[in-house]
Structure 1
Amino acid sequence: MSTTNDVNTSASANVAAAEKESEGSMFNVKWIFTTILATWPWFVASMAIAYLIAYMYLRYAVPIYKVGNEILIEDTRTNSNASAEALVLSDLGLHNQTDNINNVMRSFRKRELMEEVVRELGLNIRYFEHGRFKTGEFYTNNPFKVFVADSLVEGIGGTQSYTFVFDKDGSFQYKPTGTKEYLSGKLNEPLTLQFGEVKIVKTGYPLHYGTEYEVTLSNTATSALTFAGRIGLSRPDRSDNTINITSTDELPKRAIDVINVLVEVFKVADTAEKNRFAKHTIDFIDKRLEEVKKDLVSVETQLKDFKQDNQYINIASQSDMLIATTGEFSKKLSEAQVQLEIIKDIKQYVKNNGNLHEMIPTTLFIEDNNLTTYLVEYNNLLQERARKEASYQEESPVIKAIDKELKTARSIILENIKTLESSLNIQLDKLEERSANLNSQIRAVPKKEMQALDYTRQQSIKQELYLYLLKKKEETAVTQAATISGVTVINTASNYGAIYPDKGRIKNRAIIIGFLIPMVFFSVRRLLNNKVIAKSDIIPISDIPVLGEIGHYKDEESQIAVKRNSNTAMAEQFRALRTNIQFLLPDPDDKVILLTSSMSGEGKSFAAINLAITFAISGNKVVLIEFDLRKPKISKHLGVDNTNGISGYAIGKYDLNSIIVPSGVDENLYVIPSGHIPPNPAELMMLPKIDQMFEQLKKDFDYIIIDTAPAGLVTDAVLLNRFSDTCLYIVRQGYTYKQQIQLANDLKDTGRISKINFVINDVVFNRGYSYGYGYGYGYGYGYGYG
């Protein structure tokens, strides 16, 4: 007997473990599918409503279009119009095309460029028409136009908006948008608004009388900020020099115009920037030419006066040999002196605080690459500062950081000039040393010829410098004349199509959201529910196996759900429960089945009656004992006389055979009623007569089924457990609290009721259920459960 019980206990544990593992892996999928099947009208309705909302949104949503073009940035190394700085940096490996393209992309975002676009296209005045569900905007096809002085618009602080309603007689009503009171006005007549006087003129496009129109006016800076935010710049292929410029807008034609005009404005600005540097260089050269010209005229005048005063001494005839010998030397000396003069000019230019934010000419100096590189880098910093000034204040950390770099660069330039001056002076000292040798030869020439030769040498130096400056001015002027923008349009702006709303994506999301709303609702409701709804609510919190599931019984007149030859779903459920019990009790000596629950009303007596009938109709001789001595129900449900029963037998008033009565339901089913309700049921169950009763019943019957009081209320079930071979703990769907499962766990863990199994009662199967595959949310209650 004990071995068999151990086997049965092990089998129950194995069943519980298998169920727990199965539910753990299948619960989510099973629950989702069963929930959908049980409540599919909610899902269909929710998805239909969500789809309808998406459809209405798409019908009245204003589409946004994407427009773009493609431009080519000239390579600074191959462009004949490239600046000297770019060429020098490229030669020295300090400049690359990627930097150039990035600079161009940054330049396209300059505020001044978009402000010029706004002015050219008139984007600071926008026109709208309000429909019943949708507002549309005009561009070049507005039915009326607001004429206003540019200075007045620029004086608007941000944006002002006005609503107009036109009448057929040429009058109109208007008000600042957001206010209630309308004012009157007439077409083609002056109208005073908050910021100044304007005139409203009808255009050739249709004007809908009685319709609300809205006009927004913004200053150029505000409008430029709006449209600049829609511009996108990207490099589709970093291996080439192309840039894509895109813009998004409700009006694709406006976006196309904005991009095309932006490119043209950039070209003009780019060319102007290049010419500005060239002009600055020419101005510098002109200033030096004036100074050198004065010096040259002075020397030539002195030479002329000397010749006149000395009856024109023919130096050539008297000193041909000397001049021929010293010609090459004079040229080198002149070149060195020219270089030194240029270095001194640049030095004075850099030291002059008035030129702090002016670029330093670099085309004048070609003899020292290091100095040229530093000058180019300095000019690049100045250009970067100019670009940043468009976006930052003078006192901003960004501008201050650049100014700090400029100060450092000027110090480096002055240090290099100092070094170069020293080098040139050393070179001149060596030339002067050779000059001493030449002078010893010149002393042999008559004094007046020597003076004439000195004047001639000074004239030669000034002429060399003057001719050098003229040459550089000519080169710079030619470059300036040929300057063009480094941007070429490959593909003009075109409409890529609507990017918003994405109809397919919005509809798909609507359907998904429509599905998720009821799913989330049912999930939250399930999580917040504190009662047992399904087997999956028990498995995570208990190791006790669920032995069977009994459906909802609708007949309120009778508690007998199982009859001989019955093929109902209820009968099949009790047959399945019987089979599971027989599997747990394979030994013929294991025949006592105890039924209890947590509280009254969970269907314990109903389950006991029908389980007893199920065993009886299978040919087993069964006795059903009404051991719920406190609140007996079985005798009432079966119509059995309750006068003679257990309470009378226990005290010796009746013998056992006299209290065993036929059930009247099946010939194999007998009942032992409770008898009169005793004052001390627990003590009665401990009497020796009860032990004797069970010993005799085990000899006379195949199965003994005990209906006892709820274990959550009294100790009757624990007292009778000494006679049972297995205990069925009844749990009612939507009635038993989840925390009451812990009571069954405690009974098992403490050994008070060791061989315990759950049976879920009153399960609603008719909403998407297949037997044994989950549960819905119905909460029907049968008559007389208890």
Structure 2
Amino acid sequence: MSELPFKEAEKEFDWSEMLHAWIFRARIVFRRLWWVFILTIGAGLGYQAYMELNRDPLYVSSARMIIDGRIELPEGANYVELLSNFWGTQMELMQSPMVKRRAKERVMALHPELSADTFVRISVSQSSDANIFRLVAEGRDPKYTQYFLDALMYEYLNYKKERRAASSENTFVSVMEKVLEYQHQIEDLEQQRLDFQNENNIVFLQEQGNNAGAYLAELNAKAASLRTQLRLLTRMDLKAAGKDGHEMTPLMESILAENDEEFAEARRTVDKLNAELSEFQIYMKPKHPKIIALKREIERKDNMLNIYRRQSVTQLAQRQEQLTKNLADVDEMIDEQEQEALKFSRLLAEFERIGSRLESVTKIHSRLLSSIQQIEFTNDVAQEVISVLEPATPAFQPPGNTAKQLFTGGVAGIALGAGILFVFAVMDSRLVSVDDLTARFDAPVLGIIPLQKQQDGRVEMLKGNDERLMFAESCRNIRSSLLFMDREGPAPKTILITSSVPAEGKSTLTGNLAITLAFASAKILAVDADLRRGHMHDAFGVKNNDGLTGLLTNHTLDPKNVIQATDVEGLDVITCGDYPERPGELLMSRRFDEIFDALKDDYDYILYDCPPVLATDDTPSFATKADAVLFIVRSNYTRTRQIKNAVDTLSLRGIKIRGFILNFVDNREPSHYYYKYYDYYSYRSYKPGAGREEDKRNKSKV
């Protein structure tokens, strides 16, 4: 759980680290190719100086044009110019090839003695605080430059006038065509109206239409009344009412009473007799003669009332049939009258449509005639809003700005140099940092060795109290990586150290690694196996008498007589000896195996300093005898292609590199910063009497 925040932080991209790495690489490229800037800056300055010394003199003439504002014309007669991008449009028009061509033709017509091929450059700008155009002409002939600028302003104004006149003319022609077109339409519509009036009496049509409408309204009212009566009779169900034993509804009774006076009178008589009967029954017995007489009278009246009912129902049924026939007749008359009224309405509508179209076309024709008058009036009034404020001044030769030209050349040279360096940096395949090495190869990086000062072309070997703390700790780091290389199996006992190309520091590193291992109380044997150019004896200050060559060629020579002790306790060396003719065969001989198999029992580690892989075939063949192969890469020196070829050569022999060591690393490289802390934590152990000033100086290194 405690490792989770650290892992999440590793996923974040560090922009500052990337920028630092780019700056570091740029510094490396600059140190290597700084002379490129001298060449490019010199070329830029030389080019500008040459152009300044050999350019033709230019003469400058200036003029100004002003915008006077809009001219107020009568209503409807304004000349309107598009204001969208007005300034830019006018400036582009002044500098257009067409206006320049016309200005050139004008100058040649007025001043034929001048050359027509004279160069002139025009620039137009707008005043920031005024509605003024500033025109500047630059040319090689002062008179031609001045005349050309004047002609340019004149032709610019003439061109605008021509465009306005052409626009007005085109508009006038278009409007006139429309006027004639509408004039023909007016004549056609007037003729149609006249023909219609000759064929139809408009007054008669209007009267007939009004009469037909009134009569149609009367028929519709009559039909509505008939439908109402017929609807009431239909609701009475007269067929059922005419049958015996069928009781009439109160509605039928009221309708019959309204239409038949005798039925109504009989009805009232029956009601009166029933009232008297009810009154007599209160104080008379049922068989009283008056009651019996009243009942007989009521019965007789009811019989008569039924007779009236049947007669009335028969009459109402006949009435219903008559209403149905009358309604059908009225509907037929309504249809005929509607057709008649529709005919009159259609004729009147056609007449009104002709009149409406004639009125509309007449109005449009009148507006077009008014527009023609406005166009003619506008053409007679000068409407240009731009005019010449100051004519072209006499052309003069301005003083040259040599400093500006040289500054421009210097800046261009710097930019060109930076571009060249960038191309070289992109194409450069030299490895600089651990990140470069791990990104291209799978083998681990066992350590890095910082860049050290050299004496007589060599780096001095480590000592017991060596003050090169970063260098010493780097070698100890490699020693620790080597000791714990195979934690599950036996540690490598014979270690071969090589590189891809010469001058990568493998011999110096072999010696210092051997010294570091000896400091850890180990018995170490360093063997100079470079039988072509070995010089380990110079590094340790020992003699190079027989060495490895003599040991392998002289079978009677005892290895103890070849092994030499060094100033470092526990460290012995075998120098290379003489340079033989066939060193590869000696390293692959059986005597070499017998000698060094016996020496493995006497030493904890045996280190072989071998030639570069790409220089000879000695190392790829000999590397099969070593327990581990360490590969040296020189920072900012060895190219990726060289390392890849060397690694592929070893892989073909079945040799796997156990680790890389990055040598000669600049301590200002971003990934090398952590080694600087060795100075801080180790300073007092080496300088116990250091004062406060030395302490401050040590912290400043961190």
Greater fraction of residues in helix? 2
TM-score (norm 1): 0.44
Greater fraction of residues in strand? 1
